Amino acid sequence: MPDGSQIELFSFPDAPSRPTRPEAQGLRHLSFEVHDVQAAADELAAQGIAVEPLRTDEFTGRRFTFFTDPDGLPLELYEAAPAGDLHALLMKLEGDLHLQDVRASASRLEEILEDDFQEIGISGIVWTRPAIVEALRDEAFSERTMSDFRVQRMASDVALVTYRVHREATAERPSADSLRSSLWRQRGGRWRMAFHQGTPL
């Protein structure tokens, strides 16, 4: 897989029938995120594939269903987060990166930034994740505020974020405004920043 994950498929002669249903303890199954579960289920049904009635996840409020592959193994369709939810999530994550306690925390930065993260700073310098973590450790912090925050979904697991930042003046440097853009990728159910660029105004 592009992110280094692997899918292993095993086949055995005269394998026993599956004894339990999808939520059985210890079960592993594939789940596919789709934007419209009902439409995806209807498309499968039109091909003669039996699909279970839709259910709603009590924790997320999103719909899901199961069907089976030719060997009778369960496959899941799970509803993607609405655009509004993604907007709120990415606004929070971007906002976290402008907080002093987050910027000073190597572990928190490594949670938010992808391993191969790169940034083109407003100075024109290209930063990697290790370089950013080190540089922010002893940063002379300035308060920042975001505005005109926008999210555009580029794919089911990729989103482009654009916004404007105002940095307050400190004794070390004057106030400044900049345009920001970030690419976020979703891996294993978690959104992390893969790229960021700042353009001075």
Same domain (yes/no): 87, 76: no
> Which residue range is the domain that position 60 belongs to?
1-80
β-pair type (190-200, 113-120): parallel
Residue where a domain stops, chosen among 26, 55, 80: 80
Task: Kindly compute the dihedral angle of the four CA atoms of residues 54, 58, 59, 60, in this order, to the nearest 10 degrees.
Answer: 40
Same domain (yes/no): 101, 193: yes
Same domain (yes/no): 105, 191: yes
Please give the structure tokens belonging to residue 88: 């709120």
The more confident residue out of 99 and 27 is 99
Largest CA distance in the chain: 75
Please give the structure tokens belonging to residue 66: 């199961």
Same domain (yes/no): 3, 30: yes
Same domain (yes/no): 49, 31: yes
Q: Are 188 and 172 in contact (CB under 8 A)?
A: no
Residue where a domain stops, chosen among 80, 109, 134: 80
Write down the pLDDT at residue 126: 94
- Confidence band (pLDDT; 50, 70, 90) for 59? low
- Structurally, the chain folds into a number of domains equal to 2
Same domain (yes/no): 21, 58: yes
Same domain (yes/no): 170, 194: yes
CATH of the domain at 7: 3.10.180.10
Residue where a domain stops, chosen among 50, 80, 110: 80
Same domain (yes/no): 102, 181: yes
Query: What number is the average pLDDT over the span 59-63?
Result: 77
pLDDT digits (tens, 9 = 90+) for 133-150: 999 988 889 999 999 999
Same domain (yes/no): 22, 59: yes
Please give the structure tokens belonging to residue 136: 């922010």
Same domain (yes/no): 119, 190: yes
The more confident residue out of 31 and 7 is 31
Same domain (yes/no): 27, 107: no
Same domain (yes/no): 29, 111: no
CATH of the domain at 106: 3.10.450.50
